[in-house]
Structure 1
Amino acid sequence: MSTKRIHLLGFVQHGVNSHATGMWRHPKDKVGWNFARPAYWQHMAQTMERGLFDAMFIADELAPYTTHQNSSDATVKYAVQCPTHEPSTIVPIITTATKHLGVGVTLSTAFEHPYSMCRRLSSLDHLSDGRIAWNIVSSYSKSEWEAYGRDMAMREDRYARLEEYMEVCYKLWDSWEPDAIVADKETGIYADPAKVHVVHHDGQYYSCHARHFCAPSPQGRPVLWQAGSSDRGRDFAAQHAEAIFAVHPNVERMRQYADDLHDRLAKRGREPGSVKLIYGLQTVVAETRAEAQAKYERIKALIPPEGALAWISGHFGLDFSTYDPDEYVQNIEVPGIQGLFESIIYAKGGAPVTVREAATIYAQGMGMPVLVGTPADIADQMERFADEGGADGFMLIATYTPGCFEEFVDLVVPELQRRGRYRTQYSGTTLRDHLLEY
């Protein structure tokens, strides 16, 4: 019986603070580094490549959260994913500093036409020599819609739009035939127009009449990534994604999710193993358990309570400052990201979770499991999540940077390799190669 090997990705944002609120205050955060300068991202990328990660995964938010007290004041005040720069701008910086590391970039379909989205992603795939993934999102928070001066679309309408959006993207990416480029200097013919097809699309939401402006990139299409959590979202992910990111607080919830997604994938005739399930994970590692626990307590102590409320309010579309801090979140229905809210509901194994607790848990790492201990302790739990929870790999959420990734690469990666759970070298050239390697 073969030992299941694990995929690893680093989960960050192009900002001063990623997904662990308050980390900009940590004494080890960005010491000697400026997140707005290339050197920081080059070092982070090279650290992940040294650890043989599949990719750096860049999350995004299009505007400061405004749900908390109908204002973005707390978001700005406590650096709750703010300031955040546009994610695709750092892709060439990352890929020119590395040879193998992929980059997953989160780009919203809500305010950009499929034509320009395809052109940008094809360009990035060319520049990276085939190491790009697109995390497909449709914008969930009211602040994003307010920033663009638009009324927020209903959830089901957004998915209908998203389906058509992808239809247009596929038509554009597939419009160049493999032998369309002739490049005959004698005749002056570069490409055969008969083999570069004009896309004609007139749908309910989108219209496009043009040839794709980019020749086929190394991967043809970027690796398609999704984080489908709701029932409709899981269907979308099962139809389109090559890798799926999910957050579940324990192995039982992971297993339920894996079984459900495998059923949905099988119904669509997709091959087993062709779609990777990547679960969110936060780690705090040290040589001893006592040292790791002390590091973890320091991280928790830096979370600002009002900033935590601002984030949970922005993500889930409710102003949690209007609720009693001791009210149970199990009694609250949210319009925002359903699957992530379930990670909060089950954060204590099904026991009631108060609003106060929920905000702190979420601000620490989006409700992901937190593994605190020695390299062996953490590897033990990762193996369990893989074998019993159905994880194909893990999205490692940042705490203080770049130190959290340096520590993981130096301490945990060698332990996983000793156990035969992790690659010892890259074997392919594209990001899709690495994902499908095992």
Structure 2
Amino acid sequence: MSNPKQMHLCGFMVAGPVVHSHAIWRNPAHETPFLTLPYYADIARTLERGMFDFVFFADRLAISDRYGDSHEIGIGLGDQDATRMDPMPILGAMASVTTHLGLGATRSTTYDAPFNLAREFATLDHLSGGRAAWNVVTSMNDGEALNFGLAAHLGHDERYDRADEFLDVAFKLWDSWDADALILDRARGLYADPGKVHYANHAGTFFRSRGPLNIPRSPQGRPVIIQAGSSGRGKAFAAKWSEVIFALQPSLARMAAFKADVVRALEVEGRAPDAAKVMMAIMPFIGKTRAEAEAKRDLHDSLVDPRVGLSTLAAHANADFGSLPLDATIDEIADTGSKGNLAALRSIAGNGSMTIAEAGRIYGRGIMCPRAVGTARDVADELIAIIDSGAADGFVISPAFLPDTFEDFVNEVVPLLQASGRLRSSYAEGSLRERLAGAGGAA
């Protein structure tokens, strides 16, 4: 009998009061000190104790003020963009309290320069001993453009054209130091071999960069590349560059269809079907009984104002639909921002009858993140069933509350996954990339 397929696990985070769940900061059990360092350090320790492959932080570069052309709802009620601290310093702190946990940050190819990002991730990869990951985004809306002195956001396909060249430049910069360029011969006073450090000399449509990078080659050479594009162009970009593809699909059928699309796109790029691990978002609610788990879910949902979900939805759609009545259908929202998210909402609606108010409730409680609700055994069995169906290679665990969800999952679900041979019981030596490529540890 063949060994059961092991799954990869990621902890999904935002450096602020909201992740997918808009109820996190309203946790009635305790405060959520999202502006403090110990909060993030404790989460990192918990995820490493649970044998997670990595944590990654989603990020955006603007508040949400598309809904009603105002920041009143987003700031007043605390939407997903009301506060987002820079995740890179937080990952540096997480690196200092962990040994194996991979460390991923979101950075935009639309509002940064390749040299800056190449330098940031090379630094993180060195300091973490080969655990850095970059969640590549092209950014979503005009609010971000305005913060960088532009009148409007670039068009969807143009953003991806820029992103393709951005990664090309970044890879050249990471490769500008050969692996053996650093000599550090103290007796002879030789620091590095100049013949093994190369200029990039890139001159393209969007970027010019001479290089070389002013940091020696890092343990992984470059960070693990994560991508979450769900449009056709986004999937093609992910198939070209990514080693991990994060997807938020609201049903098993959509998970399977997404995975099949990824495999086809990888084939077009000449890559193996398993060259990029597809990891699906799941929000678990775990109880001693199913009734207890359902009560946790219902309490969580009761804390979400539909209007706060609409504020985040407007930001993702890059559309101000605040003038539309709440009983209007989501088909009246323009496809200008995150096209994949709107398509997923419409798939839930089926016949297009979902109202804007209903969409706000769904978005506020978890941005369409599917839930696994039940006992630890129920949740473990559901994850295993998805893996065995071939619809995913692993899961991005999205918390309903912090640190509560991660602690419940690690304490109760992880031991069941380990006992079934579906999750490592110890970390193997090596980099994050090596762990993702292989089994990653002892079953």
* SS of aligned partner of 2:348: coil
SS at match of 2:417: helix
Q: Which residue of 2 aligns with 1:108?
A: 108
Residue of structure 1 in register with 2:40 after alignment: 41
Structure 2 CA distance, aligned partners of 1:148 and 1:132?
26
AA aligned to 2:94 is I
Take 2:272 and 2:356, find their aligned partners in 1: how far apart are those partners? Answer: 41
> What residue is the counterpart of 2:231 in the other structure?
230
Alignment of 1:123-202 (within 5 A): 123-150=123-150, 151-202=152-203
**Which whole-Å CA distance do the structure 1 matches of 2:170 and 2:24 have between them?**
38
SS at match of 1:322: coil
Contact 1:309 1:320 in 2 (8 A): no
Q: What corresponds to 1:16 in structure 2?
A: 17
Dislocated runs of 4+, deviation >4 Å:
348-351
Are the equivalent residues in 1 in contact too, given 2:200–2:211 (CA < 8 A)?
yes
Distance 2:268 2:157 in 1: 22
Which residue of the partner structure matches residue 287 of structure 1?
288
Secondary structure, aligned partner of 1:164: helix
Aligned residue for 1:371, secondary structure, equals: strand
Shift of 1:350: 6.2
AA in 2 matched with 1:289: R
- Contact 1:91–1:103 (Cα < 8 Å) also in 2: yes
Indicate if the aligned counterparts of 1:22 and 1:79 stay in contact, CA closer than 8 A. Answer: no
CA distance in 1, matches of 2:252, 2:131: 31
- 1:342 equivalent in structure 2: 343
Letter of the 1:292 partner, please give it: A
Instruction: Give the direction of change, closer, same or farther, for the CA distance of 1:73–1:101 in structure 2 (3 Å limit).
Output: same
Match of 2:53 in 1: 54
Counterparts of 1:370 and 1:330, CA distance in 2: 25
Whole-Å separation in 2 of the counterparts to 1:412 and 1:343: 28
Question: Which secondary structure state, in structure 1, belongs to the residue aligned with residue 322 of structure 2?
Answer: helix
Structure 1 residue 184, shift from structure 2 partner: 2.5
- Change over 3 Å in CA distance of 1:351–1:284 after alignment to 2: farther
Shift of 1:331: 5.1
Q: Per the alignment, in what secondary structure is the counterpart of residue 284 of structure 1? A: strand
Give the Å deviation of 1:322: 2.1
- Structure 1, unaligned runs of 5 or more: none
Supply the distance in 2 between the matched residues of 1:108 and 1:178 (Cα, whole angstroms).
27
CA drift of 1:382 comes to 1.1
Equivalences, count: 436
Deviations 1:338-364 (A, max 9, x none): 112222222356673221111111111
Amino acid at match of 1:380: D
For 1:280-328, what per-residue CA distance to the aligned partner results, in whole angstroms no more than 9, with x for missing partners?
1111011101111111111100001221111111111122322222222
Question: Secondary structure of the residue that 1:367 maps to in structure 2?
Answer: coil
- Name the SS for the 1:335 alignment partner: coil
Q: Is the 8 A contact 1:9 1:54 kept in 2?
A: yes
**1:65 CA drift (Å):** 0.8
Shift of 1:63: 1.1
In the aligned structure 2, how far is the partner of 1:257 from the partner of 1:306? 29
Cα deviation 1:413-435 (Å, max 9, x = unaligned):
11212222111111133211221
Is 2:70 the counterpart of 1:71? yes
TM-score under structure 1 length normalisation:
0.96
- Displacement of 1:147 after TM fit? 1.5
1:319-398 matches, within 5 Å, as 319-330=320-331, 332-347=333-348, 352-398=353-399
* Separation in 1, partners of 2:377, 2:167: 43
Q: 1:183, 1:191 within 8 Å by CA — same for their partners in 2?
A: yes
Using the TM superposition, give the Cα deviation of residue 91 of structure 1 relative to its aligned residue in structure 2, in angstroms.
0.8
Structure 2 distance, partners of 1:220, 1:294, is 47
- The residue aligned with 2:241 is 240
Matches of 2:322 and 2:193, distance apart in 1: 61
Question: What secondary structure, in the 3-state scheme, does the structure 1 residue paired with 2:47 have?
Answer: helix
Query: Is the contact made by 2:321 and 2:333 (CA closer than 8 Å) also made in structure 1?
Result: no
CA contact (8 A) 2:238 2:245 kept: yes
Q: In the alignment, does 2:415 pair up with 1:414?
A: yes
**Which residue is 1:306 aligned to?**
307
Alpha-carbon distance change, 266 to 165 in structure 1, aligned in 2, over 3 angstroms: same
Check the 8 A contact 1:247/1:339 in 2, yes or no: no
Where does residue 297 of structure 1 map in the other structure?
A: 298
CA apart distance, 1:62 = 0.9
d(CA) in 2 for partners of 1:406, 1:329: 36
RMSD (Å), alpha carbons: 1.5
Structure 1: which amino acid aligns with 2:52?
A: F
Distance 2:223 2:180 in 1: 20
Which amino acid letter does the alignment assign opposite residue 206 of structure 1?
A: F
Q: What is the Cα deviation at residue 251 of structure 1?
A: 0.9
Q: Which residue of 2 aligns with 1:402?
A: 403
Letter of the 1:135 counterpart: N
Identity of aligned residues (%): 37
1:92 aligns with 2:92: yes
Residue pair 1:312, 1:320 contacting (<8 A) in 2 also: no
Native 8 Å contact 1:202 1:208 kept in 2: yes
What are structure 2's unaligned runs of at least 5 residues?
none
**Counterpart Cα distance in 1 of 2:182 and 2:60:** 38
Task: Quote the residue 1:430 is aligned against.
Answer: 431
Find the aligned partners of 2:352 and 2:282 in 1 and give their Cα distance: 21
Give the deviation of 1:273 after TM superposition.
2.2
- Tell me which amino acid in the other structure corresponds to 1:15: G
Corresponding residue SS for 2:245: strand
Match of 1:2 in 2: 3
The 1-side partners of 2:226 and 2:166 are apart by 15
Distance in 1 of aligned mates of 2:397 and 2:345: 18
Mapped to 2, the partners of 1:185 and 1:419 lie a distance apart of: 51
TM-score of the pair, normalised by structure 2:
0.95
State the alpha-carbon separation in 2 of the partners of residues 109 and 156 from structure 1. 13
Question: Within 5 A, what are the aligned runs for 1:202-221?
Answer: 202-221=203-222
